[in-house]
Amino acid sequence: MSQNFTTRPEILGTFGVVTSTHWLATAVGMGILERNGNAFDAAIAAGFVLQVVEPHLNGPGGEVPILAWRAGEAEPHVICGQGVAPQAATIKRFEALGMKLVPGTGLLPAVVPGAFDAWMLLLRDFGTFSLEDILAPAISYAERGFPIATRAVQSIYAARDLFLNHWPSSAEVWLPHGRWPAPNSLHATPAIAATYRRIIAEAKAAGADRVSQIEAARRAFYNGFVAEAVDRFYRSELTDSSGRRNIGLLAGSDMAAWRATVEHPLSYDYRGLRVYKTGTWGQGPVFLQQLALLSGFDLEGMEPNGPDFVHTIVESAKLCLADREVYYGDPNYADIPIKTLLSNAYNDRRRKQIGETASQEFRPGDLPAGRGRFERIAERAGCETPVGLGHGEPTFTDLPEVEGDTVHLDVIDRFGNAVSATPSGGWLQSSPVVSGLGFPLNTRGQMFWLLDGLPSSLSPGRRPRTTLTPTLVGRDGAPYMAFGTPGGDQQDQWTLTFFLRHILHGLNLQESIDAPMFNTKHYVTSFYPRSIQLGGLLMESRFPATTVEALRRRGHRVTLEGDWSLGRICAASITGGLLRAAATPRFMQGYASGR
């Protein structure tokens, strides 16, 4: 019987559980359940609150992949809230600007903001609440103020000169009276509230029917005043990570032409469970590939904080992340060999590449479709130097390094409905606030390559291959687990370790989250300037010294991080009507609730 100390209890209940990266979003989601909303209603309300209270990590102009599983259905649905590249965004257009990479900040990297439509689609087809009730908590925090997190303030402080000298619309929101807010003080973003109030007013004008109002809200955002404001603002000329002023490419017509979609998930069977992920427009299949590789190892017989366990997982991650860079992309625009990548034959061959020592090579699988791709990528990766606050990931060099760039939430209700979502984008420090709306747009276009012939090449209408990767797990054809984490390229590494410790080593959800975490840095980064890092292994310093030294002897380039510094995992589960939830103690914002 597990008796490990945890930083907080694993939540147990029968009515419903909510877990997210911010306690206010968790409280709002739980409140929706208490008002007889279902898991989808709770997730949507919590998602809109996260946009307001974690503005350095996501916002109304961002994106969200959602996995939604209705009780009684055979598998979850994927709601793709990942917008596409503008019609004006071509490789030739960037080459004419003298660029070899899509910038990480500014106007140029914006794609269609997908989060709003994805949440509306979930509300229309899965939820029960009205538009006004679902937006009310977010509007309240935006109007009346929310306690602004220390790291949000640090992000504002780091960007203060950029805002004051180049992005005045951002300075108006985040530097009132020319000063940054104090950590944990109340900070309001009333323009966001006004935008949502106007959307509600236009929706109500369409009639009293709930669905008609939701459809009117979608039109207001993508065909109406929101799209018109974006169209006007993106004709501006503003500074980006190239160090130059550039006009945006996103237009109102791009927004009008796009809507969120419902797709089938990708999945893999592992130890009697079925794990579900988004398609290859996200990095989620990396998790599935690792399971396929690791199925051939006796992980149960390895100490979960020991060198064999860490080494085996890290070496499998290196192979799968290499495949991600060469083979993943929008399947609507490229032939993705995902069936091969998840096949037994392929993984039997790849498993032989995992040896006793740490690999220092970048080794994608040798499939005909991928030959020559990595050599082209390697020539381009890291070829530009960001100017100022030009790094694409929203963690800046004058801040303590934190590998986390987004938010996450999971909800399971008493009916057995489950949802997992990883909202991101629209970071306050990466893109200027759109005048009249009160929020910035995403910079997700930085994940395209300005090279022809790759699955992740830039082209109009294509989805970027993102790092966002929520997870649902089924058992006996019903929902069992929901989990995820912020963390860019590290997301599927941290959640895989959490999952294996829970499934194979018997740790409960909170114990699995609290256990010392690690991740490799051996990949091509998804964020500008897209550099290649080889051999690096980050480990929380709570690992036993014997484990660290054994890994170093095997050739791992170990860097010890803070005791509680890697990952912000949230998780929930349901077994026989008993609900469980847990949240990371790292960075002191995440919280789980339930009854």
37/126 Cα distance (integer angstroms)? 11
Q: What is the pLDDT of residue 394?
A: 58
Query: Helices 131-144 & 210-222, crossing angle to 10 degrees?
Result: 50
Is there a contact between 468 and 58 (Cβ–Cβ < 8 Å)? no
Is there a contact between 488 and 467 (Cβ–Cβ < 8 Å)? yes
Q: What is the pLDDT of residue 533?
A: 86
- The pLDDT tens digits for 163-185 are 999 999 999 999 999 999 999 99
The amino acid at residue 506 is G
Q: What is the pLDDT of residue 435?
A: 98
Would you mind telling me the total number of residues written for the chain in this entry?
595
Strand partners, 263: 78
Would you tell me how many other CB atoms lie within 10 Å of the CB of residue 539? 23
| For residue 400, pLDDT beyond 80 | no
When the pLDDT of each residue in the chain is averaged and rounded to a whole number, the result is: 96
Choice between 386 and 572, residue whose per-residue pLDDT is larger: 572
Q: Is 65 left (phi over 0), alpha (psi -120 to 50) or beta?
A: beta
Cβ-based neighbours of 5, under 8 Å, separated by 6 or more? none
Is there a contact between 450 and 94 (Cβ–Cβ < 8 Å)? yes
Q: What is the pLDDT of residue 3?
A: 65
Is there a contact between 427 and 61 (Cβ–Cβ < 8 Å)? no
Q: What is the pLDDT of residue 388?
A: 72
- The pLDDT tens digits for 223-270 are 999 999 999 999 999 999 999 999 999 999 999 999 999 999 999 999
- Which two tokens mark 377? 């990528």
Give me the mean pLDDT over the 505-511 stretch.
Answer: 97
Give me the mean pLDDT over the 508-523 stretch.
Answer: 98
- The dihedrals phi and psi of 365, each to the nearest 5 degrees, come to -65, 145
Q: What is the pLDDT of residue 405?
A: 75
Is there a contact between 246 and 222 (Cβ–Cβ < 8 Å)? no
- Which two tokens mark 111? 């794609």
Band (386; pLDDT cuts 50, 70, 90): confident
578/593 Cα distance (integer angstroms)? 14
Q: Which of 367-371, 424-428, 433-437, 489-493 has the lowest mean pLDDT?
A: 367-371
3-state DSSP call for residue 247?
strand
| For residue 295, pLDDT beyond 70 | yes
Band (423; pLDDT cuts 50, 70, 90): very high
Give me the mean pLDDT over the 453-475 stretch.
Answer: 98
Cβ-based neighbours of 548, under 8 Å, separated by 6 or more? 539, 558, 560
479/528 Cα distance (integer angstroms)? 37
> Is residue 440 reached through a cis peptide bond, with omega within 30 degrees of 0 on the bond before it?
no
Cβ-based neighbours of 156, under 8 Å, separated by 6 or more? 56, 163, 174, 175, 180, 181, 428, 429
* SS3 of the chain: helix, strand, coil, percent, to 5: 35, 20, 45
Band (404; pLDDT cuts 50, 70, 90): very low
CA dihedral in degrees (8, 497, 576, 472; nearest 10)? Answer: 110
Band (4; pLDDT cuts 50, 70, 90): confident
Band (393; pLDDT cuts 50, 70, 90): low
- The pLDDT tens digits for 76-124 are 999 999 999 999 999 999 999 999 999 999 999 999 999 999 999 999 9
Would you tell me how many other CB atoms lie within 10 Å of the CB of residue 152? 23
Is there a contact between 525 and 489 (Cβ–Cβ < 8 Å)? yes
Is there a contact between 68 and 476 (Cβ–Cβ < 8 Å)? no
The amino acid at residue 421 is A
Helix and strand counts by DSSP (H, E) for the chain: 20, 23
**What is the value of pTM for the model shown?**
0.97
The amino acid at residue 126 is F
CA dihedral in degrees (411, 417, 418, 421; nearest 10)? Answer: -80
Band (398; pLDDT cuts 50, 70, 90): very low
- Going by C-alpha positions, the residue among 466, 393, 335, 480 that lies closest to residue 65 is 466
| For residue 485, pLDDT beyond 60 | yes
| For residue 338, pLDDT beyond 90 | yes
DSSP 440: B
Q: What is the pLDDT of residue 387?
A: 83
Residue 147, Cβ density class (10 Å: 0-12 exposed, 13-18 middle, ≥19 buried): middle
- The pLDDT tens digits for 123-161 are 999 999 999 999 999 999 999 999 999 999 999 999 999
113/131 Cα distance (integer angstroms)? 19
Q: What is the pLDDT of residue 397?
A: 39
210/214 Cα distance (integer angstroms)? 6
